[in-house]
Structures are given as C-alpha cells and as structure tokens.
Amino acid sequence: MLSLMLRFLILSSLILWQCSPNRQTEIYRFDQIIVTKFPTNPPPAFPQSFFPEKANFLQSSEFKTSHIHTKEAFLHLETTESWEEIQRRIDLRVNQGDWKLIEKNSSESEVSYLLEGFIKKSLSIYLTKNGENNQLRFYFKKHSTY
C-alpha cells in the first residue's frame, strides 16, 4: 500500500511539474525586430527607474534602426507592488525633469501616462489592476534620427 501511495505522489508531482507554466525565455528575430517572451532584462530604451523593484517581465519587443539604436520598444511586466506605490514611483520619477508629463488619465482600474523626453522621444505607461498583481505596459518611440 505504501509503495502504491508513493508511486501516486511521484506521478502526480511529475504531472503537476509538466503542467506548470513554463517561464523560459523565448526570442524571435526578424530583420530589425526582436520579440521576447519572458525576457530576463528589459529593452535598454526604457529608463529602469520607472520599474517596480520586483517585476516579472512578460513580453518585450524592439524595432531597431541599427544594432544599437532603438526606434520603438514595448515592455509588459507584472508586479505585486501596490497600486499606490507604483504611481508614487512614476510621479517622483517624472518630477526629476528629464521626462515631461504631457497627459495623465486615471480610472479605478487603470492609469495612463504620456511623457516626452529629450531629442523627440515619447514614453507611454499604462498601469492596470489585475487581481493580486498589477500590470505595467511601457511604449517607447523615438521620433528623430539622432
């Protein structure tokens, strides 16, 4: 009886391990476009000071004009950091002066920011409540060729 119970526990744990979500990084490249599922690092175009301290990166994409210059980028992440703390971090970061707040819209479940940076850059941030986690989506666009 014990061996049957032990086999059942081992088999069920193997099945649960196989069914658990796979958070392995996947990278897809096509010419100047890079799409990453579960990236380990965000695209370098984003100021990391806007990010929560504990963030799980879900997806990112980049469109590069060359090997080093990013023209457009997207990042989707989730965090357990509180809704208020995330907004406070973004507001404090905007007040540092290198990004100018153009527009801020908020509702009960979403806050959106539109920011403008030096040399014709724009950054949009969308904060969304999603159960226990909060999700952030970042969009970056460089409007010049510098």
Digit-coded pLDDT (tens) for 21-65: 668 999 999 888 899 999 998 988 888 889 998 899 999 999 988
Structure tokens at 14: 């193997």
Tens digits of per-residue pLDDT, 99-135? 999 999 999 899 999 999 887 899 999 999 988 899 9
Domain boundaries, given as residue ranges, for the chain: 25-142
Residue pair 68/61 in contact (Cβ under 8 Å)? The answer is no
Which class is domain 25-142? alpha beta
Residue 3 confidence (pLDDT): 43
> pTM for the full model?
0.80
